[in-house]
Amino acid sequence: KKSIRLILGDQLNLKHSWFEEKKDDVIYFMAEMKQETNYVKHHIQKVVAFFLSMRNFSETLEKQGHKVIYYNLDDERNQQDLVKNLKQIIKENNAKAFQYLLPDEFRLDKQLKDFCEELSIETNAVDTEHFYTQRKDVAKFFEGKKEMTMEYFYRDMRKKHEIMMLDDKKPEGGKWNFDKSNRKKWTGNPKIPPHKNFKKDVTKIINLLEQENIETIGRIEARNFSWPTSREECLKVLDYFCKKLLVYFGDYEDAMHTDEKFLFHSRLSFAMNTKMLSPKEIVGTTLDYYYEHKDEIDISQVEGFVRQILGWREFMRGIYWKEMPAYKQLNVLENTNKLPDFYWTGKTKMNCMSHAINQSLDEAHAHHIQRLMVTGNFALLTMVDPDEVDQWYLGVYIDAIEWVELTNTRGMSQFADGGIVATKPYVSSGSYINKMSNYCKSCHYSVSKKEGENACPFNNLYWNFLYKNQEKFKNNQRMGMMMNLLKKMNQETLQNHIQRSEEIIKNPDQF
């Protein structure tokens, strides 16, 4: 039966069982579409990386003998809309069946479900064979429980998949979690190997985007494109991570530094979110490397990495499928402020913000703590509308796809879900940033000051945020200690925090 099989841009899994057999009556369909480039303003490197990866994927399939129809963005046949393109392809090829891989985004899931309802031919959706879990597994795991604690899910995953487990069902190393040893500040040593850069020339795709008037954000060096855009390149990044970075991954996971953008982070999120690499092979390869080099690498480095992928990544996906579509509208703190303009330009005197934002604009990447405790922290402290915060995170990062962006941003970082993902808001004064980085040393503001023009803005905003949300946090036990300190605070000091915060919130771009 002649079939059309759709492959979306983040479904580049060459190991999928679809491709085990070559079938003459199956046509794979892929398309670069304005529907996808324009639903949010993306970073230019993100669009370039997606298109290049899709093109490489389609070429590989063709080389393997599969039939592929691929629409470039400027293909005459391209109607720039998924449904319109599909209707056309099905008609032109007189297809009798339509099959697709289950999308990870609610938006596309709905679009394809609705489309299939309209079709009179046979339709069928299959798993992407990428994740450890199915969409509803996390929801099932926490059924009947009051809180969804990631740690319990993670332990269950370790047991279920026999990852870093001893025979008697105890965790290797005697502990489930080495989080406490993942909090070192980096001060210049150990030396950080240069990050893997493929130095590709991507001028052609940049020109195509210009010619098609695709609006993007961020910066790009046309002849020095660093991201992996094929499975082979992704495997090289993984190999580099195991050999050069894993040894200190855990120790410096939360560290930030003015001279080092990536520290010991893997930069594998794009490879994984496009499915060029699977979480299972990343975890498997990393563990194999660790077991062969146990005398050189401490378990805490490896456990920290495995927890992010086996734990957090699957957990976030599960929350997304449990809570969508309502999740996208949540705003329990009722924040309504506008995102400061400097998020789009990097122009601010706050050194931590300037580094995190300029790095995001230059590289389409910032690591977890920069996203959470610098840019996310400031947005929450200044009570920015979570819709605006989402737009920025969904656009700016190379790895940003809604299922993982939304749960991290609206949930973990902005507490807009009221505690589904995180038990308390991730907010801090300047002291946390100072503890984990050297940003404060060269900042216009003084991290130790709480009053006056050069006081660190985070110091005022933190207390103002707690004050303004007193009612909302009164039953949150994890906030108890800070709320008590707030209650005991000298009134004049508190008023000063509130007044300066109001100035900052009114005019953030002056700071």
Sites of contact with ligand SF4 (CB under 6 A): 350-352, 430, 433-434, 439-440, 443, 445, 447, 456-458
Longest dimension (CA), the chain: 78
d(CA 163, CA 158): 5
**How many residues form the binding site for ligand FAD (CB under 6 A)?**
28
User: Is the CB of 192 or the CB of 443 nearer to ligand SF4?
Assistant: 443
Contact 400, 358 (CB under 8 A): no
Give 312-332 as a DSSP string.
IIHHHHHHHHHHTTGGGG--T
Figure out which of the listed residues 29, 154, 178, 312 binds ligand FAD, where binding follows CB under 6 A: 312
d(CA 214, CA 29): 22
Question: What CA–CA distances, in Å, run from 92 to 24, 59, 121, 146, 477?
Answer: 16, 22, 14, 53, 62
Figure out which of the listed residues 412, 420, 461, 505 binds ligand FAD, where binding follows CB under 6 A: 412
Q: Annotate each residue in 253-272 with x if it binds ligand FAD (CB under 6 A) or - if it does not, as one string.
A: ------------xxxxx--x
Question: What CA–CA distances, in Å, run from 357 to 266, 344, 347, 421?
Answer: 20, 8, 9, 24
- As measured in angstroms, the least distance from the Cβ of 461 to ligand SF4 is 10
Question: DSSP H helical segments within 324-469, as ranges?
Answer: 342-345, 351-363, 368-369, 377-381, 386-396, 402-406, 430-436, 457-468
Residue 267 binding target from ligand FAD, ligand SF4, none, CB below 5 to 8 Å by type: ligand FAD
CA dihedral 342, 346, 349, 354 (to 10 degrees): 130
- As measured in angstroms, the least distance from the Cβ of 377 to ligand SF4 is 9
User: Is the CB of 73 or the CB of 400 nearer to ligand FAD?
Assistant: 400
Residue ranges in 337-396 that form contacts with ligand FAD under rule CB under 6 A: 367-368, 371-372, 376, 393
- As measured in angstroms, the least distance from the Cβ of 449 to ligand SF4 is 9
Residue 371 binding target from ligand SF4, ligand FAD, none, CB below 5 to 8 Å by type: ligand FAD
Residue with tokens 């450890």: 132
User: Is the CB of 49 or the CB of 412 nearer to ligand FAD?
Assistant: 412
- As measured in angstroms, the least distance from the Cβ of 222 to ligand SF4 is 32
- Under rule CB under 6 A, residue 405 binds ligand FAD: yes
Torsion angles phi and psi, residue 274, rounded to 5 = -90, -5
Of 422, 349, 440, 343, which is closest to residue 384 (Cα–Cα)?
A: 343
- Under rule CB under 6 A, residue 133 binds ligand FAD: no
User: Which residues of this chain interact with ligand FAD, rule CB under 6 A?
Assistant: 265-269, 272-273, 305, 308-309, 312-313, 316, 367-368, 371-372, 376, 393, 397, 399-400, 404-405, 408-409, 412-413
